Structure 1
Amino acid sequence: MSKLVVLGGNGFLGRRICQAGINAGFQVTSLSRSGKPPKLTPLENKTWIEKVDWKSADIFQPNSYKDELKDAKSVIHSLGILLENQNYKSSINSNSSILNEFSNFLKPSNPLTKTSFNSYESINRDSAVLLAETFQETTTSSNPSFVYISADKGFPGLPKGYINSKREAEQELSSLSNLRSIFIRPGFMFDEVSNQDNLRTSIKKFVDLANWGNQSCLGGKIPILNEFIRPTISTQRVAQAIIYRIQDPDFNGVVSLEDLLEK
């Protein structure tokens, strides 16, 4: 049974990667600051959670996780921030006033409050490179794969630092010749199981409506709209695509949003 290590395995996407890995027969270890499993909805099947090894680690302290990488066949970096505003994750999943949470979501960050835990450069780029370098130095597996959760494109209102940090990480990771690097580029993600009425759900509905209008009414013929109006995708589909790619020993490179949406 091949070992799969997921950094950020209890996060929004990370939990679905762990679940898909267990379902595919992998030995899965999740590393996160808390080391705790995620909270699932009451109706979800939780049997897979007991099969994951949930451990605590600090991404910027390789000694806290390097032993877990030695026998890993694949490592997945599922950490990242969309905004440097530290409150955005709680806002996007909040069930309170949509208008109030949307204003909190868009609130700009204070440059003076940036730390290693809330800057694009540190979380989206440096942590991934550090993890990959540590994996490269410690792994004993043949043809090891490293998966980086990148992004499809930026969109209006989102700081350029977000997409820039993702592309910079891809470039640096591509230079690590001893790893089979895989770059996953999803768009706005939602969870198929969660049906809560929160800001994430509202954004999904808006993006889906805009994409439907662009494709159905305009025929997708306006290039600039096609750049900014992109389909949403479920975390389950992204997770399944990741497992599929790491199981292909010859695959490396970019997996675009269009690739992820293929059935």
Structure 2
Amino acid sequence: MRGSALGVRVCVAASMATKVVVVGGSGFVGSAVCKAAVERGATVVSVTRSGEPAAKQVVDSDWAAHVTWRKGDALKASEWPEEYLEGAAGVVSCVGGFGSHDHMRKICGEANVRVFEEAKARGVARAVFISAHDYGPPLRDLLKGYFDGKDTAERSLFQLFPSGTGTAVRPGMVHGTRYVGSAVPIPLSMVGKPLEVLLGNPLVKSIVQGSVFPSVLQRLLVPAASASKVAKASIDALMSPIPPEFDDGSVEERVVDVWEILRS
């Protein structure tokens, strides 16, 4: 291995590295996943509708030079060239978005289902889905299409990638610096970092999840997590050995919740 100026570790022999395909890799969370995969020594391919990234946090980063950027629509994954998924050990789907309920069901649900179906058809062994913590009502009702889509995608993931080969990563709020367009920063950590520190405190967690708080508040009061921690948890789930509890079938669905994300 060797390091870049930012300490990014890359494989000297790329052909020997594990190939990871990140769908939606130029987005806020997706770019963090690409970075985490590069640092883990993987050969990384990003597939997005735009192909080449435009966001400042990607373009100005040394690790981005170690990612192969490809253009492809997740809803039309069956039309992707063979080379996109060929030889991939795993795929991480970061596809999602907001809008009307129908739009969110399509982007958060159908698009990810198409990715998982095509990955399975082409012999990819492992898959990770960036899902979401279920806050319950009233937020779930306000964003019904979003959570319905996530649920649909998770069902497909676990059906196609059983026994721990498929993992749903469920963060709450994801913070970091997000860019609108190519260069307008939104410092989400100004809100997210305090929520991570406060609600992620073990003492606060035990109080919130105790009998004093009603269940509706327990589901709402979960800590935020940085995009880098979500990314690391995702790549760990994809590239590390499958936990032994899946061997005997006692556990069927592999989920990384917000608390496990914070331990990454």
Establish whether TM, by shorter chain, passes 0.5. yes
Q: How many residues align?
A: 226
Is residue 127–residue 161 contact of structure 2 (8 Å, CA) maintained in 1? no
Does residue 18 (structure 1) correspond to residue 62 (structure 2)? The answer is no
Q: Distance in 1 between matches of 2:154 and 2:79?
A: 24
Q: Report the counterpart of residue 127 of structure 2 in structure 1.
A: 146
Q: Deviations over 1:49-92 (max 9, x none)?
A: 111001111112221344311211011110112x31xxxxxxxx
Is residue 154–residue 162 contact of structure 1 (8 Å, CA) maintained in 2? no
Ranges in structure 2 where 5+ consecutive residues have no aligned partner: 1-16, 244-252
TM-score (norm 1): 0.74
Is residue 193–residue 225 contact of structure 2 (8 Å, CA) maintained in 1? no
Is residue 11–residue 38 contact of structure 1 (8 Å, CA) maintained in 2? no
1:74-93 correspondence runs (5 A)? 74-81=90-97, 83-84=98-99
1:56 aligned residue (48, 55, 71):
71
Q: Report the counterpart of residue 134 of structure 1 in structure 2.
A: 118
**Could you say what secondary structure the match of 1:54 adopts?**
strand
2:104 aligned residue (120, 123, 128):
120
Ranges in structure 1 where 5+ consecutive residues have no aligned partner: 85-108
Q: Distance in 1 between matches of 2:119 and 2:200?
A: 42
Q: Distance in 1 between matches of 2:19 and 2:205?
A: 47
1:234-249 correspondence runs (5 A)? 234-249=226-241
Is residue 15–residue 38 contact of structure 1 (8 Å, CA) maintained in 2? no
Q: Distance in 2 between matches of 1:126 and 1:234?
A: 26
More strand as a share of residues: 2
Report the alpha carbon displacement of residue 243 of structure 1 after superposing the two structures with TM. Answer: 1.5
Q: Deviations over 1:144-194 (max 9, x none)?
A: 101111111236443223222212221222111578211100110012799
Q: Report the counterpart of residue 147 of structure 2 in structure 1.
A: 163
Q: Percent identity?
A: 26
Report the alpha carbon displacement of residue 134 of structure 1 after superposing the two structures with TM. Answer: 0.7
Report the alpha carbon displacement of residue 30 of structure 1 after superposing the two structures with TM. Answer: 0.5
Q: Report the counterpart of residue 250 of structure 1 in structure 2.
A: 242
Q: Distance in 1 between matches of 2:242 and 2:194?
A: 38
In structure 2, the CA distance between the partners of 1:160 and 1:255, relative to structure 1 (3 Å rule), is same
Using the TM superposition, name which of 198-207 and 18-27 deviates more.
198-207
